[in-house]
Structure 1
Amino acid sequence: MTAPLTPPEPPPPGQPAHNPWQYPPPSGAAGGEHAREAKDGDSDLGREVWHAVLLMVGVTVLGLLLGFLWVELAPRVPLVVRGGDAWLKESESEDAISIDGTFALLGLAFGAVTALAVFLWRRRGGLPLVMGLALGALLGSVLAWRFGIWLGPSDNVGQRAREAGEGGVFDAPLELKAKGALLAWPGAAMAVHLVLTGLFGPRTPEPQVPPPPTGGWQGWGSPTR
């Protein structure tokens, strides 16, 4: 014979009774919750995009400092006036290559420093933030290149040769022959930020699996023999 079903225990005072056969909540409540989650997600994305724009502008402005350091640290290429024209004083000099190397090394240093600063600012990262860092570093490199040329020796070689006179020596204008040096800053920034995020970034917690039930259905008594 089957045992009679025992009624569930009464709930504690102040709590509603639990009905295992009650209907699920109306779709309107679930829809409202999904709408709130979507609104929160849109606001978070908008905030990240705004932070990325600010980051891009700030990193780009740092290009002025890079251009100034490039002018101060890059070697000079001396020119000498012979027959009214400007010629390299030392034809086998490697100063022109060193100018590109100085710009590239400065770009690598700026990339490491800006990536570290961005990681310390927002450890969580995110695609908008990374894109802002990359675009800002690229624009900053272009700004540093043009600002350094403007800040360095004049590019009017003919006029300067006439002013120096026959046998006079003056510095050649800055030139960036290897345009690939412009990618040193954004490349280093992306690499360093990726390494920092992989080593020290926040970890996503693994989902917890609920333990399997050990008893019968809640609210039902166990059968008696």
Structure 2
Amino acid sequence: MTREVRAFAITVLSLAALGIPAGLLWSALSPRPPYRLVEETPALADPSTQALIAADGWFATITGALGLVCGTLAWFLSRRVQLPVLAGLFLGGVAGAFVTLWAGTSFTVGVVAVEASGVPGITFVAGPLALTAKGVLVSWPLLAVGVFGFLEGMHGYRESPLRRPHPPA
């Protein structure tokens, strides 16, 4: 029982800790939408900007890649305690995604470029990094559990006695 609890806890804590560098990477790679300040009130400068969608795409790419790597690594390292590690992949992936969201929105990493205004009295500033499509939060746990299950299914099929039900003649 102790081995299972330890494997679960290590998996959850490791994936949650990976959320901090993932969030910093997301903050460094994602563009910020430009906002204009008119009489101290911020407003989105370009409503058709692709920066909001790009931030969601970078989040899904980074957390999805981590999900694939974590699921593959967990399958290779957890030959004896697979169920606790699988549960840890799910819960740790959820925690890692939320830690990534927190770290990415809390810290600004990289260069934030904003175009200058040609109109006097209007100032452009870089907007905050935000996640507009909340559905991308599931990419880390979904891909981690999915690749783990895929590898286990392929291994189980290859080792199955039902694959060759009759001995060779």
- What TM bracket, shorter-length normalisation? 0.7 to 0.9
Task: Give me the CA root mean square deviation.
Answer: 2.2
- Aligned pair partner of 2:15 in 53, 59, 64: 59
Match of 1:148 in 2: 104
- Percent identity, aligned pairs only, is 30
Q: CA deviation at 1:204?
A: 6.5
CA-to-aligned-CA distance 1:113-142 (integer Å, 9 cap, x gap) = 101111121234521110011111110111
* 8 Å Cα contact 1:123/1:197 also seen in 2: no
Q: Summarize the alignment of residues 115-154 of structure 1 with structure 2, pairs less than 5 Å apart.
A: 115-124=71-80, 126-152=82-108
SS at match of 1:86: strand
Q: CA deviation at 1:188?
A: 0.6
- Aligned pair partner of 2:131 in 154, 157, 176: 176
- More contact order relative to length (CA 8 Å, sep ≥ 6): 2
Establish whether residue 108 from structure 1 lines up as the match of residue 64 from structure 2: yes
Would you tell me which structure has more helix in proportion to its own residues?
2
Structure 1 runs of 4+ off > 4 angstroms?
A: none
TM-score scaled by length of structure 2: 0.80
SS at match of 2:42: strand
Consecutive unaligned residues of structure 1, counting only runs of 5 or more, are 1-44, 154-164, 207-225
Q: CA deviation at 1:102?
A: 1.4
Establish whether residue 187 from structure 1 lines up as the match of residue 142 from structure 2: yes
* 8 Å Cα contact 1:49/1:129 also seen in 2: no
CA-to-aligned-CA distance 1:31-69 (integer Å, 9 cap, x gap) = xxxxxxxxxxxxxx3212211111111111000011011
Larger Rg belongs to: 1
* 8 Å Cα contact 1:68/1:151 also seen in 2: yes
Establish whether residue 69 from structure 1 lines up as the match of residue 25 from structure 2: yes
